Amino acid sequence: MELRAYIVRRLLLLIPVLVGVILIIFALLQFFSPVQRAALYVRSPQQFRNLDQIIEKYHLNEPVYVQFFYWISEVLKGNLGWSKSVNMPVSDALLRFLPATLELLIFTVPLTIFIGIKLGITSAIHRDKPVDHVTRGLAIAGYSLPAFWLGLMLLMIFYGFFTGLFPPGRLGLDAEMVVSSASFQNYTYIHTIDGILNLRLDVVLDALRHLVLPVTTLTIINLAFIMRIMRSSMLETLNKDYIMMARAKGLDEKTVINKHARRNALIPAVTVSGYLVASLMAGAVLTETVFNYKGLGWWSVNAAVQLDVPAVLGFVLFIGTVIVITNLIVDLLYAKIDPRIRLG
Amino acid sequence: MAKKSDTLVQIRDLVVRFYTYEGIVKALSGINLEIQREETLGIVGETGCGKSVTAFSIIALPPPPGRIERGEVLLNTNGSTIDILKLPRERLQDIRGHKISMILQEPSAALNPLFTIGDQIAEVLIRHRSETFIKMALEELERDIEAAEKSGSSFRAWVYRTYAGIYRSLLKNRRSLKARAASRIPFLRRYRRKLDAVLRKEVVGLLREMRIANPEGVFDLYPHELSGGMQQRAVIAMALACRPKLLIADEPTTSLDVTVQAQILDLIRDLKEEFGSSVLYITHNLGVVAEICDRVAVMYAGQICEVAEVKELFKRPLHPYTRALFEAIPRPGRGFVSIKGTVPNLVNPPPGCRFHPRCPRATKICSQEAPKMVKAGRDHLVACYHYR
């Protein structure tokens, strides 16, 4: 019951935070002239001829607070404007590019967190021993590699040298045909999941084959983050009295580490994991570009370069929501891990 | 008072060093100490003199980056003598928490914040006395099976028999694959409930012995939901769960307020009598020493300088450091008296007697050669050239 009340309270807090995000976006909007802003509401190329009508219709000449009211009601209706860089409404573009990003996320996040935590713990247990130095060295090397360079190297080796082993893009031609055919139901547009739901193993395998390199790149680059946090918080935990006490109780080292230390050390790692999810959601721009993997990152950078203002604003609003929700989940995980937080 | 004067633990020439960036800290330089059966031995000394390091080294757990360089810790149990420091890891773990256990200074830090009090106490029981409790659980299960058969519920009897099978495999092997697998399977994992119930009963009984009001409720509480005194009682329950031969108490009342301190001292004294354990009581508080100890060892800068019975020490302190300690006890109508100088840096301890730079009686020999322990009376040892 306590937990439910906590969740409800946190969900209610979501509202003011989202309003804040929207206010900031709206404030950003005010830097543009009414004519520029009218573009936000253009849904088709023909409408560009009637900008004055649009300004009139959406009250773009009126005081800021009135505009805010109208703007927010438009946003709530899901009308985020027209993204000229991809020639479709912003809301459609979001839905179109989200699945690709989610697909990357589904594989990258668990892999990074799992390996990062394991390595962090190993490193902490063998502090200042060779194992520790090697793990830390490798993690830092991975962290310092530029994504485009690592990505290109991987492509050179696994696409160029081993011809076509792990290709770029999201799907091969054959699988693309299957996915776009009428008999294939696209439930989520996440190809691996849809493939399983449609019982098309070939699609799943092809999607996985395309995922290997971008997921590897992202994992290598983000690994050090989690690993280092986990290592330092594990070292701190291992110095705690209750760890000494657990050893004094006669527990074996495995129980001491896995039961008493790990869960206590997990909280900072959870924070960073939340950040990782949010930042991957915002788009692994370089990785997506290198592997021609068209997700949110690719779309948003493309939009920014082409001064596609409605697209950028819509994207920022979306990411704001994602970050707020991620934070909520992180907080819920805290409460799940640590009984002291449940009441707070 | 020690009734039988036989030795439980004998520490011989214990040397512990800390390898730090500033250099090698000679934390303990040749400690010799005996703990008799059923006695309370106090160790007093200033912060950083090596009291706690001595205590932790007895169970071969010197706080990092400490390393035990030399020495023996001989434990006499069941007529045989073993050197704890030479035991393989597993046998060592069998002794920790079972034969020798520990209470720490800060109860709130000694309890893992993420597990309930009951969980943490039951953990010790299942670690060292699992056989007893599994047998108890089995007995209860057999009773349940009989009852189920009598009432004609064959399904229930079958379920209980399955559980009993898991317990039997656990009896044969503590890490039984069958039991570990069963713990992960829904419904089947309910076999644990019987064992948990048995453990719960035992732990609640223990908590009651610690004079905790409402032990049933406290079982399910998390450490942060208890007061400091209650937390320390829970830690004591954890330490005494297996009726250890030796209880090491590392300043267990320092962080508590005075009334609670008295209660905890009483508790430790009574339980010690009841369980027939010895207690190694570490403190810097001479009042507490007078209250609870039979014998006292005074430590200074990683060495023991005087060992005597409590009354003897209070009546006739011989070592200049001990005398200075007594002088430093604040008394009404007199200003604070402190010992001149500062505690030496143990990276480069002074040669000879470590106290000589601060000692009013020091002569030339004190800075040249460390004094040996000499007998200065019945059960009174002192390491000083000029104690007379």
Please report, for the domain that includes residue A314, its CATH number: 1.10.3720.10
- Domain match, B108 and B12 both: yes
Phi, psi dihedral angles at A170 (to 5 degrees): -100, -35
Q: Which residues pair with B24 in a beta bridge?
A: B19
Q: Is A263 exposed, middle or buried (0-12, 13-18, 19+ CB in 10 A)?
A: middle
Residues A157 and A100 in one domain: yes
Predicted confidence at residue B283, as pLDDT, reads 92
Q: Which residue has the higher pLDDT, A1 or A39?
A: A39
Where does a domain end: B153, B181, B203? B203
Does one domain contain both B42 and B125? no
Mean pLDDT of B99-117: 93
Indicate the residue among B174, B203, B232 that finishes a domain: B203
| Cβ contact B124–A240 (<8 Å) | no
Supply B161's token pair: 């028999």
Q: Is residue B141 over pLDDT 80?
A: yes
Nearest CA in chain A to B105: A241
Of B181, B203, B225, which residue sits at a domain end? Answer: B203
Q: Both A51 and A122 in a single domain?
A: no
So what's the pLDDT on residue A116? Answer: 94
Is residue A173 in some structural domain?
no
> What mean pLDDT, rounded, does chain A reach?
85
Q: For the residues A10-14, what does the mean pLDDT come to? A: 75
Digit-coded pLDDT (tens) for B215-273: 999 999 999 999 999 999 999 999 999 999 999 999 998 888 888 999 999 999 999 99
- Please judge whether A241 and B64 are an interchain contact, meaning their C-beta atoms are less than 8 angstroms apart: no
What would the mean pLDDT of B355-370 be, rounded to a whole number?
A: 88
pLDDT exceeds 50 at position B1: no
Q: How many domains does chain A have?
A: 2
B102, B222, B235 member nearest A339 (Cβ):
B222
In a domain, A172, yes or no: no
Position with higher pLDDT, B120 vs A320: B120
pLDDT confidence band for A48 (50 / 70 / 90): confident
A17 shares a domain with A146:
no
Let me know if A342 is exposed, middle or buried by CB neighbors in 10 A (0-12, 13-18, 19+): middle
Pair A59, A150 in one domain: no
In a shared domain, residues B108 and B128:
no
Which residues form the domain of A223? 93-163+213-337
Task: Provide mean pLDDT across the span A15-39.
Answer: 76
Same domain, B20 and B108: yes
What does the pLDDT read at residue B204?
96
pLDDT at B96: 93
Summarised one tens digit per residue, pLDDT across range A170-194 is 888 888 888 888 888 888 888 888 8
> Is residue A160 scored above 60 in pLDDT?
yes
Give me the domain span that covers residue B260. Answer: 1-114+243-343
Cα angle: B314, vertex B319, B321; to 5 degrees: 90
Let me know if residue A104 belongs to a domain: yes
**H helix or E strand, kind and range, residue A283:** none
In a domain, A99, yes or no: yes
The answer to whether residues B54 and B21 belong to one domain is: yes
Q: B112: nearest CA in chain A? A: A242
Chain A contact for B130 (CB, 8 A cutoff): no
- A→B interface, C-beta within 8 Å: 239-242, 244-252, 260, 263-264, 337-340
**Half-sphere exposure of residue A98, counting CA atoms within 13 Å on the CB side?**
13
CATH code, B300: 3.40.50.300
B163 and B310 fall within a common domain = no
Q: Judge if B99 and B173 occupy the same domain.
A: no
Q: Is a pLDDT exceeding 70 seen at residue A97?
A: yes
Identify the domain boundary among A83, A109, A143.
A83
Mutate to test the interface with A, among B89, B114, B115, B224 (most CBs of A within 10 A): B114
Q: Does residue B318 share a domain with residue B255? A: yes
Q: Is residue A197 part of a domain?
A: no
The rounded Cα B14 to chain-centroid distance in angstroms is 18
From A51, A83, A115, give the residue that closes a domain: A83
Quick one: A77 and A154 in the same domain? no
What was the pLDDT predicted at A236?
A: 94
pLDDT score at B198 = 93
CB atoms within 10 A of CB B80: 7
Cα B1 to Cα B37: distance, rounded to the nearest angstrom: 10
Cβ contacts of B104 on chain A, cutoff 8 Å: 241, 244-245
Quick one: A128 and A71 in the same domain? no
- Residue B4 scores a pLDDT above 70: no
Q: What is the pLDDT of residue A112?
A: 94
Q: Is residue B224 situated within a structural domain?
A: no
| A302 shares a domain with A280 | yes
Give chain B's domain count.
Answer: 2
Q: Are B301 and B349 in contact (CB under 8 A)?
A: yes
pLDDT for the residue A325: 83
pLDDT reading at B3 higher than 50:
no
Under the banding of pLDDT at 50, 70 and 90, the label for residue A43 is low
Q: Are residues B2 and B149 in the same domain?
A: no
User: What is the pLDDT, as a whole number, of residue B306?
Assistant: 94
B92 and B36 in one domain? yes
A62, A83, A104 — which closes off a domain? A83
Phi/psi for B341 (5° steps) reads 80, -170
Residue B315 inside a domain? The answer is yes
Q: Do A75 and A108 have their domain in common?
A: no
Whether residue A191 is contained in a domain is answered as no
Residue B2 has pLDDT above 70, yes or no: no
Identify whether B351 is part of a domain.
Answer: no
The one-letter code for the residue type at A10 is R
Interface TM-score (ipTM) > 0.85: yes
Q: Are residues A57 and A100 in the same domain?
A: no
Query: In angstroms, rounded to a whole number, what is the distance separating the alpha carbons of residues B61 and B63?
Result: 6
- Give the 3-state secondary structure of residue A150: helix
Question: What's the N-to-C CA distance of chain A in angstroms?
Answer: 14
Given a cut of 50, whether residue B278 has pLDDT beyond it is yes
Determine contact, residues A5/A342, Cβ cutoff 8 Å: no
Cβ pair A248:B101 closer than 8 A: yes
Question: Is residue A221 located within the same domain as residue A264?
Answer: yes
